[in-house]
Structure 1
Amino acid sequence: METLDSEASDDLSYCDLDSFPEVLLERSKEIQSLQLSHNQITILPRSIGAFVNLIALDLSNNGLSYISDEIIHLKQLKTLIARNNALDQAALPKEFAVLNNLEVVNFSGNNFSQFPLQLTQMPSLRRVYLGSNRLQSVPNDIKFMIGLEILYLGGNNLTEIPAEIGHLSQLTALNLCDNKLQSLPPTLMNLQKLQSLSLHNNSICVLPQEIVALDLVELSLRNNPLVARFVQDLVYKPPSLLELAGRVLKTKAVQYEESEVPRNLVDYLASAQSCVNPRCKGVYFTSRWEHVKFVDFCGKYRVPLLQYLCAPNCTPASPLVSLSSSDSEPEDDIPVVKMKKVLLG
């Protein structure tokens, strides 16, 4: 936010206000920055519309539950901060998106259970903070927020992120920590300007291999199931007789007519997955060997990627993703200490 003259800025924080004092309204057209945090303004007064030259407004820590429609008259507003209140998606005016100069919105610490759709209609936004809310999903329309540089969604109830996140080509920081994510969309690889990716305290079991295409400076993975996965033996369930028979049919290319085989067996045979080892012709259905491949990440550290083999003795002949030439130690001999450093760093 640009620096404002002290004459154009009013700080009325901690003043026990529940509305705007008359002396403030008399100077409304002069004020460009208004700090009203830590008061008792539970409903933003309609008189907010009088501050037509306002550039920055801070309403944090008020117990604010509703923002009046008159806020849409603040055509010069660039920064709106309303942290730690009682706002939800119904608290915003339907026409909120007409504030087409707005660049920074901070609604962290509120009661949003849905991502405010008005924000997806505002391509001018550069920074959006919605941490510590109750968000359960991110809309596909997030793809329209093409100017976004920072997106903070930590501390919510998200279980997945839509593939449309890959449209945010200007994004430099993405925070998804403290959610319930189990995986990430491969479209993250399109975020070529991304420098910081925070994923700690989730339920992530595997990373998409496309993540190695990112030139990240910061990557946080701690406190995810994938951490424990790499310091314990990986899982292999011996195949059943049905799977063994199915593997033989697929690897030997045995011909069969669908009319001669029960429908459930046709579907089962069609579900076969090829072994990731390019020199192996094997397949698997449900019984597979989970193998970890540590790949070099921009020469900074190794990232663990999970791949599936048809059997424990089927080790890949070549890496899933090439290691850098400076990395000479065998992958299977990486010391546990280094693994922990990679995963928790």
Structure 2
Amino acid sequence: MFKSGRILLSAIAACFCIQIAATKSYKCSVINEAGFCFLENVVIDGVQSIQTLDLPRHPILLIKSGAIPNFSKEIYSHLPGVRLLHIYNNTVIRKMLIASSNLSEINVQRNGLLEFEVEPVENRDLKTLTIVHNAITTVPKNIRYLEGLEKLYLYNNSIEYVDLELFTNATQLKVLSLYDNRIKTLDSKQGLRFPALQTLSLSKNKLVYIPYFFEAFPVLNAISLRKNPWNCQWLESATAHINQKAIQIARKDATCRDRWVGDICCYKTVLDFLYYLRQEDARQDRNQLLQMAQQNQELKHLLERLSESVHKLEERGK
């Protein structure tokens, strides 16, 4: 009797636990005037959490607090009606996958995010990706699959290297914001162009120059350059190009320990000397070509005069 009673109680307890696990749903704590559905204390920390997850089918979700250590592909299946996903401040995330989905905007801010990856599937739905005030150090190569991107914000991170070729598939990219990182190198190559890029933000990095700057951004209308150790010779050429194209420089340097070019600070280095030598070699080569062209022209005139003289002598001999 007691044994059967224990079995019955165990069964009831098991059913009760299953029921609790199956009803892990989150509701909007508030919906503001902009249409954001605020979610609080969202915890997704394993397979079971994902399987029992029930999120509101609201077009704009803002997860305000909680912990999602690994934001994996499986979570996206619980966001069928969501178009804009914002994950802010007190929501801890360490790793995140940007998966192919119906989302048009993902905004991840101040989460302690260490790395993100992109699903290697063509994605034209995602228009805006914002991963800012986090701790990412690299830009994944698979970001090239985000072909529909129009705005990419990766500022306030710890990125040291960026290969611009990774963004060329996003032919409608209008805004690229990389300020306040540790970027030493913007890698590029001749012929690389960003036909739609209008805003380029590079302030507060460790950049010395931007490769192929004069040809890569044909419709650029705003750029930020402050707080970088720019090469002075390059900055002079870049500033002339910026002024000629009427590109707006957003925010100026406040102080400068070396040399000003306009309102931006630069630093004389060995690169300046090499740049000067290259310019001097180019000037000498140009002068030599002009001199050779002039000599060729003079030789041409001399041959023409000689030809006329020979022709006159032949006429007299007849």
TM-score after normalising by structure 1: 0.56
Deviation, structure 1 residue 185: 2.2
Query: Is residue 111 from structure 1 mapped to residue 111 from structure 2 by the alignment?
Result: no
The 8 Å contact of residues 174 and 196 in structure 1, kept in 2 or not, is answered as yes
Which stretch has the larger CA shift, 216-225 or 181-190? 216-225
Q: Superposition pairs for residues 16-31 of structure 1, below 5 Å?
A: 16-19=41-44, 28=56, 30-31=57-58
1:109 and 1:133 in contact (8 A); partners too:
yes
Indicate the residue corresponding to 1:153 in structure 2: 178
Matched, 1:216 2:235: no
Say whether 1:181 aligns with 2:207: yes
* Contiguous gaps of at least 5 residues in structure 1: 236-269, 282-345
* Cα deviation digits, residues 277-320 of structure 1 (max 9, x gap): 99988xxxxxxxxxxxxxxxxxxxxxxxxxxxxxxxxxxxxxxx
Q: 1:52 to 1:199 in 2, by over 3 A?
A: same
Write the distance in 1 (CA, Å) between the matches of 2:207 and 2:280: 25
Q: CA RMSD in A?
A: 3.9
**What does residue range 269-284 of structure 1 map to in structure 2 within 5 Å?**
273-274=280-281, 276=283
* Cα pair distance change 1:88/1:122, threshold 3 Å: same
Matched, 1:144 2:169: yes
Matches of residues 58-137 of structure 1 in structure 2 within 5 Å?
Answer: 58-61=86-89, 62-67=91-96, 72=99, 75-89=101-115, 91-95=116-120, 97-137=121-161
Q: Could you tell me how far 1:144 is from its partner in structure 2?
A: 2.6
Identity of aligned residues (%): 15
How far, CA to CA, are the matches of 1:129 and 1:7 in structure 2?
21
**Match in the other structure for 2:80:** 52
Residues 1:183 and 1:271: Cα distance change in structure 2 (over 3 Å): closer
Per-residue deviation at 1:192?
2.7
What is the deviation of 1:187? 3.1
TM-score (norm 2): 0.60
What's the offset of the Cα at 1:120? 2.0
Question: Which contiguous aligned blocks of 4+ residues in structure 1 show a shift greater than 4 angstroms?
Answer: 4-9, 24-28, 223-226, 228-231, 275-281
Q: 1:274 to 1:9 in 2, by over 3 A?
A: closer
- What 5-or-longer segments of structure 2 have no aligned partner? 1-30, 269-276, 289-318
- How far did residue 127 of structure 1 move? 0.6
Q: Between Structure 1 and Structure 2, how many residues are aligned? A: 233
Once residues 210 and 278 of structure 2 are traced to their aligned partners in structure 1, the CA distance between those partners, rounded to angstroms, is 23
Aligned residue in 2 for 1:35: 62
C-alpha distance after superposition, 1:80-134 (max 9, x if no partner): 0111123234x43543x44420000001122221112222222200111111111
Does structure 2 conserve the Cα–Cα contact (< 8 Å) formed by 1:80 and 1:105?
Answer: yes
- Higher helix proportion (structure 1 or 2): 2
In structure 2, relative to structure 1, the CA distance for the partners of 1:280 and 1:221 (3 Å cut) is farther
- Could you say what secondary structure the match of 1:37 adopts? strand
Which amino acid letter does the alignment assign opposite residue 83 of structure 1? Q
Displacement of 1:67:
2.8
| Alpha-carbon distance in 2 for matches of 1:271, 1:227 | 21
CA positional deviation for 1:224 = 5.9
